[in-house]
Amino acid sequence: MEEEEIMQPWKLVVSAVMLVVGMVMTWLDVAWFGHWWVLLAWYIIAFLPVGWGVMQEAWEHISEKHDVFTEFTLMSLASIGAFFIGEYPEAVAVMLLYCIGELLQDKAVDCAKDHIKDLVAYRPDRAMVIVNGGVEAREAAEVGVGSVIEVKPGERVPLDGVLQDGAATFNTAALTGESLPRLIDGGSEVLAGMIVVDSPVRIRTTRKVGDSAISRILEMVEKAGERKAPTELFIRRFARVYTPIVVLLAVLTVILPWLYSLITADFSFVFSTWLHRALVFLVISCPCALVISVPLTYFGGIGAASRRGILFKGGNFLDAIREVDTVVFDKTGTLTTGQFTVTSVEGLTPEMQEVVSAMESSNNHPLAQAIAEYHPTDKRLDAKDIPGYGLEAHNGKDRWLVGTLRLLDQERVVYPVELQEVSETLVACACNGRYVGCLKLADTPKEDARHVVESLASQGVNHVEILSGDKQELVHRVANELHIQHGYGDLLPLDKVAHIQELQRQDRKVAFVGDGINDAPVLAMSDVSIAMGAMGSDLAVETADIILQTDQPTKVAEAVEMGRRTYVIARQNIFLALSVKALVMLLGVLGLTNLWGAVFADSGVALLAVMNATRILLERKR
């Protein structure tokens, strides 16, 4: 039986009304209501809407799952015992208040799930497909790869694809958590869930609905609940040992006083009194707050993080990242934009720069585009591409070479030897067999990367490094610019793995942050692996423990903060539940509280723990 069937609100209303009416009639001393069989029948009817489902659930756990010691068993024993000793209103109240608490907890869980399931709304079910020059509405699931779809301003993109038109602005908040719209160039990837901002666009689809980035997000977050954190696993193990112990203690609460009365004449044993205390003890002992609130805390942490563009693949990774004391970054595409810009020009006159730009303008290489943007020109030269070396073109009678130093070596062009020591990416230029100058380009740091050290230090992570395959001089320059003390270049993938292993031998908990493509070995080796801005990369999704949907390095610090905050709230709930229960259980055995106090204590503690667990959702929302 599903728990939702047990907690239906109308059942709670029926039982609550009958309980209140019965207590009022007893207080008014209504004559016909005073007969024992009337009282019993009235309260049995009041009990069934809330108690029958719980008792069925207990029986199913015992008969089908062979799990005797569950909260359902405890509640059933307590309510049956209350009927047995004539405490009919308390028997109904036990189940009623328990079910009310469960209903409130279910609502809290649903609230946490909504933070994740809201993503479904960002995946439209229909798409407008271009067919024979016209537009035809189809189910998104029926649209094949390679189809062209049209999306109007204000509408959500239904399928992943490539933007066919010129640049367009998209709201990417559903996928990345970014508040500002993003300008996406023609030919670039557009993901399902993005919202078109300014003008109609056409997109050629590259994936089916089930393979889209947002579908993978949903699948990943749903599966995250299956990967339990150590704290959650502790609660599960604790409950399995704890429940039979408290059942035994409840039995001993009755047996030990009876045995004591047999050897001590001064002690009067009253069976109903000690049975009542044992039942109170059972009700108090239900570990509802622990069993429900701790998993809810981790589920809430995963949900809140996903709304911030941080995808944890499981609660275990929320726990793992809180222990990180060292963060190692890849450089290109992680701390830097991956887009080159011209940093300086040497020896080239404006006229020469125009010739070079005219050669590069028709080339799609990132370096060529950076040069063309640095010196825009309407002039175009038909340049011959020499793969791996550069370009050759004729400008009137002049023969130009633009490319690497290897190109100049191949053409026997003499150039200053100090150019071989330049750390930046170099584009050398020669005219008619003579070196005339060069352009130096660099991969610029992301604006957000300038605050990464400070952000991590705020979370207590003070050891930050860069590992890169680029030249040591270039890595050192980026490290200095970002105030990162340790930067290592000229590294192959296996060198990075060896470096991570060395850090781990120093008892450091290492998180590696990369693009998830070239750094798969080191991602797999690190204690926590984080892929940045790589929702389009299958390897990143498969390899990394945490996916950052934006290209912001400071999201790493935010992920650490989320893991630590979640752990603190989970520990608070464990302490709250155990301390309050231990106190009230002692009072119950001593006869200083009754079933009413026991139920209020149990439900109250569970409700407080759930409210504390959902606090992480509210904090992240703000």
pLDDT confidence band for 246 (50 / 70 / 90): confident
Average pLDDT, the chain: 80
Q: Which residue has the tokens 């590992």?
A: 467
Spatial distance between the Cα atoms of 432 and 446, rounded to a whole number of angstroms: 39
More confident residue, 484 or 61: 484
- Mean pLDDT, residues 46-72: 81
Please write the tens of the pLDDT for every residue from 328-369. 998 877 888 767 888 889 989 999 999 999 998 877 777 888
pLDDT at 179: 47
CATH superfamily of 299-336+446-564: HAD superfamily/HAD-like (3.40.50.1000)
pLDDT exceeds cutoff 80 at 65: no
pLDDT exceeds cutoff 80 at 132: yes
Domain ranges (residues) in the chain: 3-116+226-298+565-621, 124-211, 299-336+446-564, 337-444
337-444: what CATH class? alpha beta
pLDDT confidence band for 290 (50 / 70 / 90): low
Active-site hit among 160, 319, 330, 443? 330
Please write the tens of the pLDDT for every residue from 583-609. 877 887 777 876 667 666 766 777 787
Q: Where is average pLDDT lowest: 99-113, 510-524, 567-581?
A: 99-113
CA angle 439, 445, 448 (to 5 degrees): 155
- Mean pLDDT, residues 38-65: 87
Judge contact between 213 and 175, C-beta under 8 A: yes
Please write the tens of the pLDDT for every residue from 436-456. 999 988 877 888 888 888 899
Alpha-carbon distance values, 139 to 123, 129, 208 (Å): 12, 10, 11
- Highest-pLDDT range among 183-197, 316-330, 525-539: 316-330
124-211: what CATH class? mainly beta
Q: How would you class 404 by CB atoms within 10 Å of its CB: exposed for 0-12, middle for 13-18, buried for 19 or more?
A: middle
pTM reported for the whole predicted model: 0.64
Spatial distance between the Cα atoms of 95 and 77, rounded to a whole number of angstroms: 11
443 among known catalytic residues = no
Q: Where is average pLDDT lowest: 242-246, 256-260, 534-538?
A: 534-538
